[in-house]
Structure 1
């Protein structure tokens, strides 16, 4: 009997090595390289292999204008916010990966979706972490229809696919991919090789049989999807369900989508009857107090294909430390340091001896540059202890030279602000609309000094 081959694979990035080592040389993570056995495969001679393929290849080379461009028939999940993140609905034959922290509501929202879809199509809910009794108890507690949803408690991928061929579902849920295993892979469930091979097998099954498969994935302590990086490469859509334990709101964000736009955002509220979609999330994030305080301001950010109004708060206070603190929640800290330097150079405001704290209300994470002008405005408002108008909205990118740069979709941002009752806006001059918006005064600025003069 030949010696069994072994390989060493990093559980963070999926890199393979010839021997064990303490640190992965690819992603620089420590103690993530694990050993697993490679299954032995008897190789056939090249000539016989080519002879076998001769009668099997039915693909042909064609130009792009010969490709059929018919729109894939999507079907709705029953949640408009879920459909928005997916790009308009579920595409048959697609592989979708949904991740999230424990308790975020992944199994809940998928159980709600499958129970609704079971009324009009064949569905299959595969659970590997819970028993069928636990799934039935949750469905009854949420008041969901349970008479048509087909369920299965199994962790073997080959067995699941064989039963799916008999059931012929249009959509199937795998909860979760970390507990699935394949018989010919000699490693424990949840290991790099098992997750990689199981996901690849399920993806091929989805493409060959036109079955939409939604796989649930675990996340690591830093919020990224657990398992090898190839897991995110082989699937068609990767979405993340986020939400803190002290908040009843959950955000569904798309990180990858081959059938729609990325960075789409869907907002849900956790209730006793499961997750309920929020059609107007701006109204939630704008739930401010009666009295306007210094350092508080509303900005308009762009999430996917829609504008979103959120409140940014800044607190500038004298520091007792030799190195003043710079703390950000929901914004990039390096961006804050850069804007403080621009504020000093082109705004004449020195805060090197001040502690600066910045927070985006509602737990929203802002990554785009349109929040620059609003952040600087909130900082100056707090430093001068000057409360801004409650009906003021600000957005715009600030350059290193103190110039105010335009941002995409300026017209849609202003219309969203006007719809929520804002009467005044400070925007980049290039984003100033040619036609006046009814009930709103729009002031266009070209530099940081102009913006500060118009505000203070």
Structure 2
């Protein structure tokens, strides 16, 4: 029998190399090459031809097809019974899709998927495959969640060949693999969890999903850096990548889409962990706003957009005398380099120098804001803390700030203002281009500004 051939795969970009080297030639990352066992020529060729035959459907060679002859109808979706999960998936689970969901240990990945199976049980055949826990542990969790055990099917196995054989027999429409790092294939001699095993096992599950129209969920472990363990190519193989996030000690959980071929990217779902599992949060803006008894210096409210939904979030700032020759600039939930740029704009065009102050900025609730609409509220919060003067109650702001001090408009301005009006806000400082012509939406008084100096003057007049 021919000796197994070795290759080296980059865990960041998936690039293959014939020999080990310190730096990946594809992406430039250091110390990311791991050994990949390539199957013997005879067996690999058979597997490859079988895979190609499976994709062709009948084993015949694929035919060139004119795109105009292909129907444009969209694939059907499966309602998961969990509204926040449906929102993140883009309106439901697409048939034949493969979804990778990652998160810290104990964050609630298995709980969420079990609750989803409980919600679709009876109308959608499904199968839960566990490679880490026993069936007794899965049954105990389902019982604690109040699910009907008579309607849930589970399988404890880690061999991808046996799992696919069982799935071909039971024909589930939804298949959950918990977790992909425990699954292995008999055609490779590497240990489960290695790059070669994860890559090949995932490839077979993806092939099965596309051939049979089965929707597959893959649960992935995360590394200490926060990424999903295994080769980076794993994220390229699947249709959607979801991350389950939550601060330690907090009962709130955020499900975020980082990749989605069938819906909006960066869509957000909010859950609260309780004794009976995860509960949907119908009004997530309420949990991101602190309930201060009186207006507090260093606090500003903005409206951000996560996917298709506007959210009210609170930006807090603390400015204090620095004992260091190089004052600290700390940003949690925001880009730190952008904070440094905004402080320079504040000095040049706002007339306030805080070069000798430590500046700490935090977005309440663990939300990460990646859009420029946070520029104006960040500076208002910083100035509020620096002057020890609270912003007026029920005031919100949003807008991008340019290097010349101008306030630039942001997308979906009117939708953001309507969200603020529905929560009882009375004043809004926004870019002039985002302000409606009538100047009001409901009881919300909208002040449009062109420059940073105009925004500071509007604050002083309120």
Common fold by TM > 0.5: yes
1:277 CA drift (Å): 0.7
1:165-186 Cα deviation digits (max 9, x unpaired): 1101110100000110111122
User: Which residue of structure 2 aligns with residue 207 of structure 1?
Assistant: 210
In structure 1, the gaps of 5 or more residues are none
Do the aligned partners of 1:11 and 1:191 also contact (CA within 8 Å) in 2? no
1:36-58 Cα deviation digits (max 9, x unpaired): 432102288xxx99xx99x9436
1:431 maps to 2:410: no
1:257 to 250, 260, 272: 260
Structure 2: how far apart are the matches of 1:272 and 1:80? Answer: 20
1:28 CA drift (Å): 5.1
User: What secondary structure does 1:393 align onto?
Assistant: strand
1:237 to 226, 237, 240: 240
User: Which residue of structure 2 aligns with residue 163 of structure 1?
Assistant: 166
1:3 CA drift (Å): 3.5
1:62 CA drift (Å): 3.4
1:373 maps to 2:373: no
Structure 1 residues 237-316: aligned runs within 5 Å: 237-316=240-319
1:229 CA drift (Å): 1.4
2:354 to 342, 351, 354: 351
Do the aligned partners of 2:394 and 2:427 also contact (CA within 8 Å) in 1? yes
Structure 1: how far apart are the matches of 2:113 and 2:262? Answer: 20
User: Which residue of structure 2 aligns with residue 341 of structure 1?
Assistant: 344
Structure 1 residues 28-427: aligned runs within 5 Å: 29-42=29-42, 56-57=59-60, 59-427=62-430
Structure 2: how far apart are the matches of 1:141 and 1:290? Answer: 38
User: What secondary structure does 2:441 align onto?
Assistant: coil
Structure 2: how far apart are the matches of 1:23 and 1:409? Answer: 43
1:307-328 Cα deviation digits (max 9, x unpaired): 0000001111111111101111
Do the aligned partners of 2:322 and 2:357 also contact (CA within 8 Å) in 1? yes
Farther-moved stretch of structure 1 (2-11 vs 165-174): 2-11
Do the aligned partners of 2:3 and 2:40 also contact (CA within 8 Å) in 1? no
What is the RMSD of the two structures over their aligned residues, measured on CA atoms?
2.0
Structure 2: how far apart are the matches of 1:61 and 1:33? Answer: 37
Do the aligned partners of 1:116 and 1:145 also contact (CA within 8 Å) in 2? no
Structure 1: how far apart are the matches of 2:66 and 2:30? Answer: 47
User: What secondary structure does 2:41 align onto?
Assistant: coil
Give the TM-score taking structure 1 as reference length. Answer: 0.95
1:29 CA drift (Å): 4.8
In structure 2, the gaps of 5 or more residues are none
1:71-128 Cα deviation digits (max 9, x unpaired): 3221211111000000000111111111111111000000111122122121100000
User: Which residue of structure 1 aligns with residue 449 of structure 2?
Assistant: 445
Equivalent pairs, count:
451
Structure 2: how far apart are the matches of 1:107 and 1:56? Answer: 37
Structure 2: how far apart are the matches of 1:347 and 1:128? Answer: 58
